Amino acid sequence: MSRRRRWHRAAVQAACVAITLFMGVPIYLIALAALSSRESLNRFPLPLLPTDPSTETMSTFLSSTGVTGGFLNSLTVGLGTVALALLVGVPGGYAVARYAFRGRDTYQLFLLLTRALPIVVLSVPLARVFLDTGLYDTTYAVMLLHTALALPTTVLITAAIFVGVPHEQEEAAMIFGASPPQAFLRVVAPQALPGIAAAAMFAFMLSWNEVLGATVLTLNQRTLPAQVLTTLADSPLAYRFAGGLALVLPALVFIAVMRRYLLNMWGTTLR
Amino acid sequence: MSAVTVQNLVKTYASGGRRATDDVSLEVADGEFLVLVGPSGCGKTTLLRMVAGLETPDSGRVSIGGRDVTDLPARERGLSMVFQSYAIFPHMRVRQNIGFGLTMRKVPRDEFDRRVARAAELLRLTDYLDRYPAQLSGGQRQRVAVARAIVVDAAVLLMDEPLSNLDALLRLQFRAELKRIVSQLGTTTLYVTHDQAEAMSLGDRVAVMRDGRVAQLGPPLSVYDRPSDRFVGGFLGSPPMNFLTARVRDGLLAIGDASLPAPDQLSTWDGRDVVVGVRAENIQVSAQARPGWLPARVEVVEPTGAALLLTVRLGDEQLKVQAPTTFQATPDQPLHLYAPQDSLRFYDPETSLALPLTSPSAASSPSPVTSPSP
């Protein structure tokens, strides 16, 4: 029995290591290639340790036209998407969690339907609408599209977390003098922070990685992935690695920052 | 000043179908401790939540201190509440939890500290003010919930089964403590419980509820002693009241083969069946036959420490009898029972309601007492 358990534990450990490697190795290789000189990249066999570090490729990439602008656009769109998705999605999630209304279950199911449509199908008619309203080729256009894409998960994630905060706590807050918004802000929101952080992370990642819609909806105000996709297709290999690293790093930083809120702040797991 | 009046409250839940509270009216006097007690689903919590403003009645009025609060939100009713699940805030320290009501009222810092300190002292929480609820035991969390409720000095205190999540020993300790604290404060209190012992020990008056209605309302001892119907007698008391069917015949009360003299109260019931109710502690036992005592047989003997609880068979009926520990009893042993006439209560077998205490005037038909005045 104990032997079986030991085997079981070893297998779990091995699986964890394998998954970590699966996620980590590509990032390492990209970072390695992006921070090596262009010559060392063509060497054979390729050294797997940073034997010849150089920031030359990276700095050339970062100073090339459109990269800084794309980076700033991506950041604007990403943070804007997070803000909009939370602004609309958190109340939505709260409603789904707290109120029994006609068609709630159907609503939850159909929420995900936006994600069933291919982005191209969505963005071409959207491009028309944005052209008519003058939003075309602005970061707002991309922000709106990304918000629409992020909303279903925002609603579902926050709803799941609001269900975990007992309604009696809100009632207690209201008995002791809080209005419904105050009860939400003082009692529910702090406890729902981990879920809200997860939803924010999700929205940001989605926006940061989304290429197709951003390409269709902009010409000059490209986000970084859209910019990288169009300009780097014909660039030398080394610059593609540099572009990859430039795309991965901010996402990792954002996750690291939000992770703080995912972990619990008062010593217990929620529920 | 802060009496609570409930008039004709009706509430039906969309999912329930039948009424959760059915035209309930009652009044809690200023400074009174009223306990709502009843089995689960009897509407007691619904009634409390309507008084609190957490539930909207279909019809009827609620007023507090003479002010109609039916349409006011909970926060404007000037009351405080202890919840069954405590409902303390896990992300705040004990100090902030207790002072939550003061924070919402924007009480100045020094007064906040003073009042929180006083409430904490009253509930022996002074050493725990800087802890989070997760670092407290169940009993301490319960104290925090009570401290939070009393610190605001509300005119009315509502409690929804506050002791039901504590273990038996702690519950007994805290019950006495709660009684002391509430009587010190003199707050008008409405307290909900399903535990009849709690209701008896805490309330100035007890309202026994059943199926959304108040079955009987009165001081605990009088409700215990004179249940207005079989349900109340069977619900209050441990063991519950014994009920046996007897036939009134020629001034005698025939129970099985034996008979007792019938009281005057039953003079109009000649030739009919009545239900006799008698408390276990009012039945005397004897191993020897005595004149006027009823022969019975022991079935089960349960020592409870302070007494012996006997299950005995009397004819076709089973009775619970409380005997002194000195009484020697073994299963299957014959014994003799006697209950003083003034400890017997009589009920109409059809309506289950108590029969009037004094015999009604000759012509009138027997009309059962529906609500004896407390």
Q: How far is A88 from chain B (nearest CA, A)?
A: 25
CA neighbor of A172 nearest in space, from B178, B87, B189: B87
Place of tokens 């008008």: B188
- pTM to 2 decimal places: 0.80
Place of tokens 């039953």: B266
E strand or H helix at A203:
helix A189-209
No. of helices (H) and no. of strands (E), chain A: 14, 0
Sequence-ordered list of residues with C-beta below 8 angstroms from that of B226, at least 6 positions apart, any chain: B345, B354, B372
Place of tokens 């803000």: A83
CATH level 3 topology of A65-262? MetI-like fold (1.10.3720)
| A38 contacts A238 by C-beta, under 8 angstroms | yes
Bridge partners (DSSP) of residue A36 are A53
User: Amino acid identity, residue B333?
Assistant: Q
CA neighbor of B31 nearest in space, from B188, B190, B178, B155: B188
- Pairwise CB contact (< 8 Å): B90 & A171: no
- Pairwise CB contact (< 8 Å): A178 & B75: yes
The encoded tokens of residue B110 equal 């020094």
Q: Where do the CATH 3.40.50.300 domains begin and end in chain B?
A: 4-235
Map out the domains of chain A as residue ranges: 1-62, 65-262
Could you say which residues of chain B have pLDDT below 70? Answer: 1, 16, 357-374
Sequence-ordered list of residues with C-beta below 8 angstroms from that of B74, at least 6 positions apart, any chain: A171, A174, A175, B52, B53, B54
- Pairwise CB contact (< 8 Å): B80 & A166: no
Q: Range with the lowest mean pLDDT among A2-16, A47-61, B64-78, B324-338?
A: A47-61
Q: Which chain A residues contact residue B80 at CB under 8 A? A: 175-176
Q: Which chain B residues contact residue A178 at CB under 8 A? A: 75, 104
For residues A263-267, average pLDDT: 48
Any chain A CB within 8 A of the CB of B73? Answer: yes
| B346 contacts B265 by C-beta, under 8 angstroms | yes
- SS3 assignment, position B339: coil
pLDDT tens digit sequence for B344-374: 999 999 999 998 866 444 434 444 444 444 3
Q: Which chain B residues contact residue A168 at CB under 8 A? A: 83-85, 87
Interface test with A, best of B64, B75, B115, B131 (most A CBs within 10 A): B75
DSSP string, B220-277: HHHHHHS-SBHHHHHHSTTTTPEEEEEEEETTEEEETTEEEEPPGGGGGGTTSEEEEE
- Pairwise CB contact (< 8 Å): A174 & B74: yes
Burial A208-223 (b: 16+ CB within 10 A, else e): bebbbbbbbbbeebbb
Q: Which chain A residues contact residue B100 at CB under 8 A? A: 172-173, 176
Residues 121-140 of B with CB under 8 A from A: 132, 134-135
What does residue B59 show for φ and ψ, rounded to 5 degrees? -155, 165
Sequence-ordered list of residues with C-beta below 8 angstroms from that of B63, at least 6 positions apart, any chain: B4, B5, B7, B69, B70
**What pLDDT score was predicted for residue A220?**
84
Any chain A CB within 8 A of the CB of B151? Answer: no
**What pLDDT score was predicted for residue B366?**
42
Any chain B CB within 8 A of the CB of A267? Answer: yes
Q: Where do the CATH 2.40.50.140 domains begin and end in chain B?
A: 242-347
Confidence at A1, pLDDT banded by 50, 70, 90: low
Confidence at A266, pLDDT banded by 50, 70, 90: very low
User: Amino acid identity, residue A182?
Assistant: Q
Any chain B CB within 8 A of the CB of A182? Answer: yes
CA distance B32 to B289: 49
Question: Of A169, A176, A268, which is closest to B101 when you measure between CB atoms?
Answer: A176
Q: Which chain B residues contact residue A270 at CB under 8 A? A: 90
CA distance A209 to B255: 87
Any chain B CB within 8 A of the CB of A190? Answer: yes
Looking at residue A268, the DSSP 8-state letter turns out to be S
Q: Which chain A residues contact residue B87 at CB under 8 A? A: 166, 168-169, 171-172
List the Cα angle B238/B239/B240 in 5-degree steps: 95
CA distance B16 to B6: 22
Q: Range with the lowest mean pLDDT among A40-49, A116-125, B153-162, B270-279?
A: A40-49
Q: How far is B75 from chain A (nearest CA, A)?
A: 4
From the candidate CATH numbers 3.40.50.2300, 2.40.50.140, 3.40.50.300, 3.30.470.20, the one assigned to the domain spanning B242-347: 2.40.50.140
E strand or H helix at B212:
none
Any chain A CB within 8 A of the CB of B87? Answer: yes
Model ipTM?
Answer: 0.82
B198-204: long-range pairs with CB below 8 Å, 24+: B198/B35, B198/B37, B198/B163, B198/B171, B199/B35, B199/B37, B199/B236, B200/B224, B200/B236, B201/B175, B202/B33, B202/B35, B202/B175, B202/B178, B203/B33, B203/B34, B203/B35, B204/B32, B204/B33, B204/B34
What separation in angstroms does the CA of A72 have from each of A68, A142, A221? 6, 13, 10
Architecture in CATH of B4-235: 3-Layer(aba) Sandwich (3.40)
**What pLDDT score was predicted for residue B77?**
93
Interface test with B, best of A101, A176, A182 (most B CBs within 10 A): A176
CA A91 to mean position of chain CA atoms? 20
If you measure CA to CA, which chain B residue comes closest to A177? Answer: B75
**What pLDDT score was predicted for residue B250?**
84
No. of helices (H) and no. of strands (E), chain B: 9, 20
